[in-house]
Structure 1
Amino acid sequence: MQIMRQPPVKTTLQPSNHPYLSGPWTPVHEEVDVEELEMIEGEIPADIDGIYLRNTENPVHQPLGRHHPFDGDGMVHQVNISGGKASYRNRFIRTHCFDQEQIAGGALWGGLMDPHGTSKRPGFGAHEGLKDTGSTDIIVHAGVALATLYQCGEAWQMDPVTLENLGKASWGPLDGVSAHPKVDEETGELMFFNYSKYAPYMHYGVVDRSGKLAHYVPIPLPGPRLPHDMAITKNWSILNDMPLFWDEKLLDRKIHAARIHDGVPTRFALIPRYGQPEDIRWFEASPTYVLHWTNAYEEGDEVVLEGYYQDKPMPDPLEEAGEYSHMMAYVDEHSFQSRLHRWRFNLKTGETREERLCDRIVEFGMINPAYLMKKSRYIWSTTTRPGWFLFNGYVRHDTQTGEEQVFELPEGVYASESPMVPRKGATSEDDGYLVTFLIDENSGESQLAILDASDVTKGPIARARLPHKISSGVHTAWVEHSQLKRDAQFRAEQAAA
Structure 2
Amino acid sequence: MDVEVLGHVLSTLPEDDDHPYRSGPWRPQRVERAAENLEVVGELPADLAGVYLRNTENPVHPAFEAYHPFDGDGMVHVVGFRDGKAFYRNKFVRTDGFLAEQDAGKSLWAGLAEHPEHALREDGWGARGRMKDASSTDVVVHAGQALTSFYQCGELYRLDPLTLDTLGKSPWAPSCGVSAHTKVDGHTGELLFFNYSKETPYLNYGVVDADSRLVHYTGIDLPGPRLPHDMAFTENYAILNDCPLFWEPELLAGGVHAVRFHPELPMRLGVLPRHGDGSEIRWFEAAATYVLHWVNAYEDGDEIVLDGFFQGDPEGREAHFPGDQRYARMFRMLSIDGMQTRLHRWRLNLVTGEVREEQLSGSLTEFGMINPNVGGRGHRYTYASSGEPGWFLFDGIVRHDVLTGTEQRYRYGPGVFGSETAMAPRPGGVDEDDGYLITITTDVNRDLSECLVFDAANIADGPVARIRLPERVSSGTHATWASSAELPGW
Fold match by TM threshold 0.5: yes
Deviation at 1:319, TM superposition (A): 4.8
Alignment of 1:327-338 (within 5 A): 327-338=330-341
Deviation at 1:328, TM superposition (A): 2.6
TM-score normalised by the chain length of structure 1: 0.96
Determine the structure 2 residue equivalent to 1:494: none
Deviation at 1:426, TM superposition (A): 1.9
Report the secondary structure of 1:13's partner residue.
coil
Alignment of 1:79-478 (within 5 A): 79-122=79-122, 123-319=124-320, 322-478=325-481
Deviation at 1:320, TM superposition (A): 5.1
Determine the structure 1 residue equivalent to 2:47: 47
What amino acid is aligned across from residue 75 of structure 2 in structure 1? M
Q: Deviations over 1:205-240 (max 9, x none)?
A: 011111111111001000000000000111000000
Deviation at 1:380, TM superposition (A): 0.8
What amino acid is aligned across from residue 192 of structure 1 in structure 2? F
Cα distance in structure 1, aligned partners of 2:395 and 2:316: 21
Q: Deviations over 1:471-493 (max 9, x none)?
A: 001100100111224xx79xxxx
Report the secondary structure of 1:167's partner residue.
strand
Cα distance in structure 2, aligned partners of 1:352 and 1:314: 24
Q: CA RMSD in A?
A: 1.2
Cα distance in structure 1, aligned partners of 2:479 and 2:328: 28
Determine the structure 2 residue equivalent to 1:29: 30
Cα distance in structure 2, aligned partners of 1:36 and 1:196: 46
Cα distance in structure 1, aligned partners of 2:369 and 2:69: 23
| Contact map agreement 2:194 2:205 (CA 8 A) in 1 | yes
Cα distance in structure 1, aligned partners of 2:236 and 2:315: 33
Cα distance in structure 2, aligned partners of 1:176 and 1:433: 34
Report the secondary structure of 1:330's partner residue.
coil
Determine the structure 2 residue equivalent to 1:74: 74
Report the secondary structure of 2:296's partner residue.
strand
Cα distance in structure 1, aligned partners of 2:320 and 2:400: 33
Cα distance in structure 2, aligned partners of 1:177 and 1:91: 22
What amino acid is aligned across from residue 108 of structure 2 in structure 1? L
Report the secondary structure of 2:332's partner residue.
helix
Deviation at 1:124, TM superposition (A): 1.5
Q: Structure 1 residue 483 and structure 2 residue 486: aligned?
A: yes
Report the secondary structure of 1:100's partner residue.
helix
Deviation at 1:393, TM superposition (A): 0.6
Gap change, CA 1:4 and 1:320, over 3 Å in 2: closer
Report the secondary structure of 2:326's partner residue.
helix
Cα distance in structure 1, aligned partners of 2:257 and 2:421: 32
Cα distance in structure 1, aligned partners of 2:376 and 2:278: 23
Report the secondary structure of 1:306's partner residue.
strand
Cα distance in structure 2, aligned partners of 1:407 and 1:464: 17
| Contact map agreement 2:263 2:289 (CA 8 A) in 1 | no
Cα distance in structure 2, aligned partners of 1:247 and 1:75: 32
Report the secondary structure of 1:129's partner residue.
coil
Deviation at 1:427, TM superposition (A): 3.3
Percent identity between matched residues is 51
Deviation at 1:92, TM superposition (A): 0.2
Cα distance in structure 1, aligned partners of 2:33 and 2:140: 22
| Contact map agreement 2:416 2:442 (CA 8 A) in 1 | yes
Report the secondary structure of 2:486's partner residue.
helix
Cα distance in structure 1, aligned partners of 2:107 and 2:337: 32
Deviation at 1:316, TM superposition (A): 3.2
| Contact map agreement 2:319 2:390 (CA 8 A) in 1 | yes
Cα distance in structure 2, aligned partners of 1:470 and 1:91: 12
Q: Deviations over 1:378-422 (max 9, x none)?
A: 111110100001111111111111111111111001111110111
Q: Deviations over 1:254-274 (max 9, x none)?
A: 110100113111001111111
What amino acid is aligned across from residue 214 of structure 2 in structure 1? L
Cα distance in structure 1, aligned partners of 2:7 and 2:307: 44
Gap change, CA 1:442 and 1:268, over 3 Å in 2: same
Q: Deviations over 1:248-296 (max 9, x none)?
A: 1110111101001131110011111110122111111000000111110
Cα distance in structure 1, aligned partners of 2:384 and 2:7: 37
Instruction: Tell me which moved more, 131-140 or 160-169.
Output: 160-169
What amino acid is aligned across from residue 2 of structure 1 in structure 2? D
TM-score normalised by the chain length of structure 2: 0.97
Cα distance in structure 1, aligned partners of 2:171 and 2:236: 26
Structure 2 unaligned segments of length 5 or more: list them. none
Q: Deviations over 1:108-143 (max 9, x none)?
A: 112111123111002221010211110000001111
Deviation at 1:327, TM superposition (A): 2.4
| Contact map agreement 2:424 2:436 (CA 8 A) in 1 | yes
Structure 1 unaligned segments of length 5 or more: list them. 490-497
Cα distance in structure 2, aligned partners of 1:50 and 1:163: 14
Cα distance in structure 1, aligned partners of 2:34 and 2:85: 15
Report the secondary structure of 1:7's partner residue.
strand
Number of aligned residue pairs: 486
What amino acid is aligned across from residue 314 of structure 1 in structure 2? E
Determine the structure 2 residue equivalent to 1:10: 10
Q: Deviations over 1:338-361 (max 9, x none)?
A: 000000110110111111000110
What amino acid is aligned across from residue 102 of structure 1 in structure 2? Q
Alignment of 1:51-62 (within 5 A): 51-62=51-62
Report the secondary structure of 2:251's partner residue.
helix
